[in-house]
Structure 1
Amino acid sequence: MQKTTIGRNFIMNSVLTLSAILFPLITYPYASRVLGPANIGKVTFATSVVTYFGMIAQLGIPSYGIRACAKVQDNKEELSRTAQELLLLNLVMSVLAYAGLFLMIRLVPSIQSERSLYYVMSSLIILNTIGMNWLYQGVEEYSFIAAASAIAKLAALGLMFLTVKSQGDYVVYAALSVLAGSGACLLNLFHARKMISFRHFRTYNIRRHIKPVLVFFAMACATIIYTNLDTLMLGVMTDDAAVGYYNTSVKIKAALVAIVTSLGTVLMPRASYLLEHGSEKEFHRICRLSVTCVLFSSIPLAVFFMTFASPSVLVLSGRKFLPAVPAMIVITPTVPLIGLSNITGLDMLVPMGGEKKVLYSSIAGALTDLLLNALLIPKFGSAGAAAGTLAAEAAVLAVQVIALRQQGIGAMHEMLDGKDAGKVLLATVAALAMTFWIRQTAWNPLLQLPAAAVIFFGSYYAVLLVMRENAALMIRHKLLRQR
């Protein structure tokens, strides 16, 4: 199979990421104002519940499938067999997941009273199963899934403004969120025939996938637990409104994380391919590049949105959601932590066969989150949940760095260019100083936020160019070459 360049994959994945960021940025301000904190909280809580059953259905296949398909992408017959085996396993687990979810809907009164909402959200399970995104990522085919995702989101965007008109339309909002997030999976299934054959093989060896899939499943369990535990515990220990406030800060953080990790996503299959073919030197080169890009993007993004948390919340959700500001300030530093752990875990440990080490890091994160949420949520509410998440992400990264050292890699010491990191910090401080006067103005948030962003990030990039920081120079070189 002809390989695309990392640069092209990054561009296509950036389009995919951008569409995922723009959809909530456009729709959430409208939906939050129409539906209110309580109904937004209901949808958020239902999404968290369904996510756990979706985790059972996926069984670690999304991560394992990328590596498995990447290794055999040059052999269409073996690629087809691998994809079919994983799809069959996924379908069987989806049936079991639906059985468990429908039983919960029937037995839990608070969920049964909102059963229409949960039935709608449950469609995520089957859509994500048949979508086979792991196949597309494994063979580094990002163009189609980027286009399909954009089409689904545009359709959902138009329908959102036409159909969500009152507080009672939260189920419709949930359905359109499903369409935006997973509607493209239907197109993925039909297009997959161009990459693999769906003809029946005489024999299947699904058993060979069970052990590694279970390890990845355990990783997914621990990861989803600590990434959703904050919302779940907040919903149980407080009320729907608190969940709605917290969801605002999480959406902003998720958008920033998506920007920061978009390069790491395309590097994982390439890293697996390189190690399978003995190209360790190139493997280390792309990991070092990834660390540089993560620091270049994550540190200024985190600092900017912490500094301008209040206008960000006002623009995204309106004045009713201002209680979300403390949680946003606390949770935003997770952006660089997640960016780095995405590299140390998915881009380094997993291709090296160290998925068990990633599992241990996720367990450490889950336990940290559980303990701190139990202690902090009763007193601090959504800000306490944010603090638990911040500590959990720090624990994940720390365990992964230790694991890499045990495998003979100095982790950040070998992967990090100290001079470039220092330049990023200095440029961020300089950009912050340039926007100090804007923070003192009483401008409308719709004017203040974009004005601050232009000055902050323009100053940041200019200072880095003056200091000749590598990532900034690389971007300038790419832009000039396109002209």
Structure 2
Amino acid sequence: MKKKSLGVNALLNGLRSALNLIFPLITFPYVSRVLSVDGMGIYNFSNTYVNYFVLIAGLGVATYAVREGAKYRDDKEQISEFASQIFTINMFSTLIAYILLIGSLLIFSNLRNYVTCILVFSLQLFFTTIGTEWLYTIYEEYQYITVRSIAFKIISIVLLFLLVHSPNDYLWYAAITVFASVGSNILNYIHAKSFCKIKLVKDTNWKYHLKPILIIFASAVAITLYVSSDTTILGLLKNDYAVGIYGVAVKIYTIVSGLISGLLVVTIPRLAMLIGKRKVREYNHVLQEVINSLSILGLPAAVGLVMLSQEVILIIAGKKYLNGTLSLQIITWALIFSNYSTIFNQCVLIPLKRESKALRNTVITGLINVGLNFIFIPLWSYDGTALSTVIAEFMVMFLNGWSGRDYIGPILKSRRTFKSMVDSIIGCMGIVVVCILLKIGIPSLILRTALSVVLSVIMYGAILVFLKNEIALEYLDKVTNRLKGH
């Protein structure tokens, strides 16, 4: 198998993550004006409701499949057998999810107004399963995934403007959302044959696969519950206004966090393959590159967002959401902790088959987060919710790091990692100076924000190069060689 470039994969996956996050930002302002409030309510409720069943259908299969399948990817016969077994388990979990979904629609009469929209969204269950995107992650086929994603997002935007014109067109909007999200998965299933033969099989080794899959699934459920609990508790203890203000801060935080994690998660199949083949030295080398890259990317993203939080809220949401500025500034620091936690979890604990420890850490953090919300929200409302999120993300980062300390510890203590962190801190001072000077000198909101981003990137990169940071010099060499046509 031809070795893929981690740098190119990171760029492609970052682009795909950006598209997935930008798509709602393009569509939402349009549909919120065209659709009625009731229509948007039906759409939002149905989407949220079906997502719980999407979680059941997924069952944690994707994460497990990438970890286990990466070591078989060079053997077509072995990967075909493995992929077929995983696909069979996934189809079975999807069937269970559909039975539970239909059962709930028959039992709960208050869901009758949502039935049609829920059934439209439920197509995601089947198409996500047959899409076998985990197979493309195993083979690091990010170019195919990204090109396909761009094409379907563009088609979806065109369909949106063609079909959604009146307050009652929420079903069209739901169908287009599904098409944008999973419509291309039919192509995935057909194209998957170029990697291996994938089919339903009778001789699935349920005993071997099911325990780790269920542990990963339980961890995913715990994450979903503790992430959702913030907004739920805020709504119970305060009001819709508080939830709306906090929701904007979370939306912006999620966009930036998704961009950073999208650049880093491409290393997961490579690390899983290396540890699966007992190539510990190579594994440690790649893991150190990932952690050092996060040191270089995470802190400047957080500092930049803190400095531009007011401008970003004004551009994305408008003046009526400015009360969320402090919440955004607080929750932004969770960027650093959450991405380190993701790396420790997905790149260390899962490949090393320590998913039970990851589950334990998530449950502990979830309980602490819920408790902190009940303490902080009465005191500081949505700002308290943001603070509890930061503390929770720090806790889960610490616990995941401690669970993988035999691999993570030597890397964090290394001179190279320490230098990357120091270089990043010094570089961030340059970002602060740039943003402050532009706030003083440029009154135009859009121009000030654009210049702040561009000049901050240039200033930060220049400082890293001046400090002879290895990662910055490596990227500079790549850019220089590309420009020279090498």
Give, in whole Å, the separation in 1 of the partners of 2:476 and 2:14.
Answer: 18
Aligned-pair Cα RMSD in Å: 2.8
More displaced, 161-170 or 181-190? Answer: 161-170
Distance 1:195-1:346 versus aligned 2 partners, 3 A rule: same
Residue 474 (structure 1) aligns with: 474
Q: Secondary structure at the match of 2:352?
A: coil
Residue 159 (structure 1) aligns with: 159
Residue 67 (structure 2) aligns with: 67
Residue 88 (structure 1) aligns with: 88
Distance 1:31-1:395 versus aligned 2 partners, 3 A rule: farther
Superposition map of 1:119-198 within 5 A: 119-165=119-165, 169-198=169-198
Give, in whole Å, the separation in 2 of the partners of 1:415 and 1:195.
Answer: 41
Residue 265 (structure 1) aligns with: 265
More displaced, 264-273 or 321-330? Answer: 321-330
Residue 454 (structure 2) aligns with: 454
Distance 1:46-1:231 versus aligned 2 partners, 3 A rule: farther
Letter in 2 for 1:387: L
- Aligned partners of 1:48 and 1:228 also within 8 Å: no
Can you list the C-alpha shifts for 1:351-379, whole angstroms capped at 9, x where unaligned? 12221221122112211222223333455
Q: How far does residue 130 in structure 1 lie from its aligned partner after superposition?
A: 1.7
Letter in 2 for 1:345: N
Residue 431 (structure 2) aligns with: 431
Q: How far does residue 127 in structure 1 lie from its aligned partner after superposition?
A: 2.4
Distance 1:120-1:281 versus aligned 2 partners, 3 A rule: same
Give, in whole Å, the separation in 2 of the partners of 1:49 and 1:363.
Answer: 23
Residue 371 (structure 2) aligns with: 371
More displaced, 155-164 or 106-115? Answer: 106-115
Q: How far does residue 125 in structure 1 lie from its aligned partner after superposition?
A: 2.2
Superposition map of 1:239-388 within 5 A: 242-377=242-377, 380-388=380-388
Q: How far does residue 44 in structure 1 lie from its aligned partner after superposition?
A: 5.1
Superposition map of 1:193-232 within 5 A: 193-198=193-198, 203-232=203-232
Q: How far does residue 165 in structure 1 lie from its aligned partner after superposition?
A: 4.7
- Aligned partners of 2:309 and 2:328 also within 8 Å: yes
Give, in whole Å, the separation in 1 of the partners of 2:31 and 2:411.
Answer: 43
Q: How far does residue 244 in structure 1 lie from its aligned partner after superposition?
A: 4.1
More displaced, 8-17 or 163-172? Answer: 163-172
Can you list the C-alpha shifts for 1:113-161, whole angstroms capped at 9, x where unaligned? 4444433333332222221111111122222211221112111222334
- Aligned partners of 1:145 and 1:184 also within 8 Å: no
Q: How far does residue 398 in structure 1 lie from its aligned partner after superposition?
A: 0.9
Superposition map of 1:417-428 within 5 A: 417-428=417-428
Residue 404 (structure 1) aligns with: 404
Q: Secondary structure at the match of 2:140?
A: coil
- Aligned partners of 1:48 and 1:231 also within 8 Å: no
Unaligned runs of 5+ in 2: none
- Aligned partners of 1:263 and 1:290 also within 8 Å: no
Give, in whole Å, the separation in 1 of the partners of 2:32 and 2:99.
Answer: 32
1:464 matches 2:464: yes
More displaced, 126-135 or 235-244? Answer: 235-244
Q: How far does residue 346 in structure 1 lie from its aligned partner after superposition?
A: 0.7
- Aligned partners of 2:35 and 2:169 also within 8 Å: yes
Q: Secondary structure at the match of 1:435?
A: helix
More displaced, 246-255 or 376-385? Answer: 376-385
* Identical aligned residues as a percent: 28
Give, in whole Å, the separation in 2 of the partners of 1:292 and 1:312.
Answer: 28
Letter in 2 for 1:430: G
- Aligned partners of 1:79 and 1:196 also within 8 Å: yes
- Aligned partners of 1:29 and 1:318 also within 8 Å: no
Letter in 2 for 1:192: A
Residue 11 (structure 1) aligns with: 11
More displaced, 398-407 or 410-419? Answer: 410-419
Give, in whole Å, the separation in 1 of the partners of 2:443 and 2:42.
Answer: 33
Distance 1:243-1:44 versus aligned 2 partners, 3 A rule: farther
Give, in whole Å, the separation in 1 of the partners of 2:50 and 2:237.
Answer: 19
Q: How far does residue 210 in structure 1 lie from its aligned partner after superposition?
A: 0.8
Q: How far does residue 425 in structure 1 lie from its aligned partner after superposition?
A: 0.8
Q: How far does residue 46 in structure 1 lie from its aligned partner after superposition?
A: 4.6
Give, in whole Å, the separation in 1 of the partners of 2:142 and 2:419.
Answer: 33
- Aligned partners of 2:411 and 2:417 also within 8 Å: no
Can you list the C-alpha shifts for 1:22-47, whole angstroms capped at 9, x where unaligned? 32343344445656999767755554
- Aligned partners of 2:219 and 2:358 also within 8 Å: yes
Can you list the C-alpha shifts for 1:71-107, whole angstroms capped at 9, x where unaligned? 2111212212211211221122122223333444455
Distance 1:342-1:381 versus aligned 2 partners, 3 A rule: same
Can you list the C-alpha shifts for 1:281-334, whole angstroms capped at 9, x where unaligned? 111111111111112111111111122112212222233433443332222111
Q: Secondary structure at the match of 1:278?
A: coil
Give, in whole Å, the separation in 2 of the partners of 1:16 and 1:219.
Answer: 25
Give, in whole Å, the separation in 2 of the partners of 1:124 and 1:328.
Answer: 31
Q: Secondary structure at the match of 1:417?
A: helix
- Aligned partners of 2:35 and 2:168 also within 8 Å: yes
Q: How far does residue 206 in structure 1 lie from its aligned partner after superposition?
A: 3.2
Letter in 2 for 1:373: N
More displaced, 97-106 or 210-219? Answer: 97-106
- Aligned partners of 1:66 and 1:269 also within 8 Å: yes
Distance 1:408-1:169 versus aligned 2 partners, 3 A rule: closer
Q: Normalising by structure 2, report the TM-score.
A: 0.90
Letter in 1 for 2:299: I
Distance 1:49-1:199 versus aligned 2 partners, 3 A rule: closer
How many matched pairs?
483
- Aligned partners of 1:215 and 1:359 also within 8 Å: yes
- Aligned partners of 1:401 and 1:411 also within 8 Å: no
Distance 1:112-1:304 versus aligned 2 partners, 3 A rule: farther
Q: How far does residue 439 in structure 1 lie from its aligned partner after superposition?
A: 2.5
Give, in whole Å, the separation in 1 of the partners of 2:242 and 2:161.
Answer: 25
- Aligned partners of 2:19 and 2:150 also within 8 Å: yes
